Every structure is written in C-alpha cells, then in structure tokens.
C-alpha cells in the first residue's frame, strides 16, 4: 500500500485553523533575499568535495513525492561509503531489509523526484542533492552495494540534477554533534573546512558570485554562527 493510499483526511477543525497563511511577498518582507553567491550556489553535478562528503556520510534523509502530491521523508543509515558515487551525475543507494512498507519505492515508481540531505558527524554543514530516481535489482550493483557479507536488497539510482551545501545553523542550534570517534569529519574535510573546500571546488563561479566577499567569507560565516542563530 502506498503513502497516498494510507493518507487520511484531516478532521473538520484543527489548531492550524487559528492561523492564516501569508504570501511569498510577505515572506520576502520578513526574511529578505539571499546574496548572489547563495542564490547561484547550486551545481548540476557532484564535484570532488561533494562526492567525498557523501562517501563519508553514514546518515541521510530522502524525500519522495506520493501519487497525491504529499511528501514523504525517510531516514537512511548505513556504514560510510554505502552510497556510491558512480559518476558526477549518478548516485547508487542500497536498500536493506526493513518494514516492507516501501513508501519511497511506491512514490519513486510514480514520481521520480527525490531530495537528499547528507550528514557527516562532526561537520556542521550538510550537502543536499535533488534529482530523479528509479529502482533496480541489477545483481552486480546489489553485490557492490552489499554490507555485512550480504548484497543490497534493491538499489535506488539517482540522476543528480542539483547539488549544493547548506550552512550549519540548524546543526548548531540542535547541538547535534558531540564528537565522532570514527573521525569522519577529518576524513571528509582532509584538514580543511567546508567553505574553503566548497569555494575551491567551484573556484571560478565562487570568485564571480562572491566578489569582494570571497576573502572574508569565513569571518562572515563565523559571525553568523556566533551572533545570528536566533
């Protein structure tokens, strides 16, 4: 049974009815507009750093769209390296034995759109990937995606459409990381930091969009993390 088939109608009156929606114009009045380097930060493929970040991520969330347009978000956890970067435009995600609801699979077979958020323990920032996906049972790929001596049950192939990093304010506010004995942050960042590596990976574009801000970006980010979390 799909997510759409299990969705129930809301009762006649809920707490949400006490509030009124606002327009996007009002949203912009409140939050403003992003600077150019943020507005244009999305890339159409994985770079070396974003691929390494994903390779060191043991946890991510995947959003899919049901037949009725409702979103479903599923947490995924596995040893680092389980999500394979097949090329700069393609990810392969293993499926392990679970509760057999298969909501994500039901959704993907109806609407291929997916959104992914990858976390690395100890790193405040995250990598986000948007694209479209399909399910495969290719034996060779399932073997490559195996864990604990067992092949993956199925695999999700994601065609990458957008890749971008997101700042660490949410992770900082959550107090999410208290340290990781595996050293995944050091392995993903190879002695650098998220923004240095992001800028280096897209040097020409970032130099153009950042302009004079490029030399002081770290100070700006650190100030935001220190003084602008709330």
* Predicted pLDDT at 6: 53
Domains and CATH numbers, the chain: 36-227 (2.30.110.10)
User: Is 29 a residue whose pLDDT tops 80?
Assistant: yes
Note the Cα 69 to chain centre separation in Å.
Answer: 20
Note the Cα 147 to chain centre separation in Å.
Answer: 22
pLDDT tens-digit series, residues 106-115: 999 999 999 9
pLDDT tens-digit series, residues 127-151: 999 999 999 999 999 999 999 899 9
Angle in degrees, CA 87, 171, 203, rounded to 5: 45
User: Is 101 a residue whose pLDDT tops 90?
Assistant: no
User: Is 2 a residue whose pLDDT tops 70?
Assistant: no
Indicate the pTM of the whole model: 0.84
How many residues make up the chain in this entry? 230
Query: Is 44:161 a contact under the CB 8 Å cutoff?
Result: yes
Residue with tokens 């948007």: 130
* Predicted pLDDT at 87: 97
pLDDT tens-digit series, residues 46-87: 999 999 999 999 999 999 999 888 899 999 999 999 999 999
Q: What percentage of the chain exceeds 90 in pLDDT?
A: 64
Q: How confident is the model at residue 205 (pLDDT cuts 50, 70, 90)?
A: confident
Residue with tokens 């986000």: 128
* Predicted pLDDT at 4: 43
Which 3-state string (H, E, C) describes the chain? CCHHHHCCCCCCCCHHHHCCCCCHHHHHHHHCCCCHHHHCCCECCCCHHHHHHHHCCCEEEEEEECCCCCEEEEEEECCCCCCEEEECCEEEEEECCCCCCCHHHHHHHHCCEEEEEEECCCCCCEEEEEEEEEEECCHHHHHHCCECCECCCEEEEEEEEEEEEECCHHHHHHCCCCCCCCCHHHHHHCCCCHHHHHHHHCHHHHHHHHHHHHHHHHHHHHHHHHHCCC
User: Is 118 a residue whose pLDDT tops 70?
Assistant: yes
User: Is 10 a residue whose pLDDT tops 80?
Assistant: no
Q: What percentage of the chain exceeds 70 in pLDDT?
A: 96
C-beta pairs of 84-89 under 8 Å, 24+ apart in sequence: 84/144, 84/145, 85/46, 85/51, 85/54, 85/55, 86/157, 88/45, 88/46, 88/47, 88/51, 88/160, 89/44, 89/45, 89/46, 89/159, 89/160
Note the Cα 141 to chain centre separation in Å.
Answer: 23
Query: Is 217:199 a contact under the CB 8 Å cutoff?
Result: yes
CB atoms within 10 A of CB 56: 21
């Amino acid at each position: 049974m799909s997510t759409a088939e299990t969705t129930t109608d809301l009762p006649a009156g809920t707490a949400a009815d006490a509030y009124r929606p606002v327009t996007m114009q009002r949203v912009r009045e409140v939050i403003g507009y992003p600077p150019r380097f943020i507005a244009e930060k999305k890339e159409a493929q994985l770079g070396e750093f974003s691929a390494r970040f994903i390779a060191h991520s043991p946890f991510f969330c995947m959003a899919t769209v049901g037949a009725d347009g409702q979103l479903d978000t599923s947490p995924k956890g596995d040893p680092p390296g389980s999500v394979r970067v097949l090329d700069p435009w393609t990810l392969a995600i293993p499926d392990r034995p679970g509760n057999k609801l298969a909501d994500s699979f039901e959704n993907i077979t109806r609407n291929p759109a997916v959104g992914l958020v990858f976390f690395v323990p100890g790193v405040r920032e995250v990598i986000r990937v948007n694209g479209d996906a399909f399910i495969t049972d290719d034996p060779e790929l399932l073997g490559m995606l195996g864990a604990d001596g067992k092949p993956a049950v199925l695999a999700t192939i994601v065609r990458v459409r957008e890749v971008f990093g997101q700042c660490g304010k949410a992770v900082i506010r959550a107090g999410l990381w208290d340290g990781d004995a595996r050293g995944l942050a050091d392995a993903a960042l190879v002695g650098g930091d998220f923004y240095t590596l992001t800028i280096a990976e897209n040097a020409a574009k970032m130099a153009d969009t950042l302009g004079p801000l490029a030399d002081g970006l770290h100070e700006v980010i650190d100030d935001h993390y220190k003084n602008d979390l709330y």
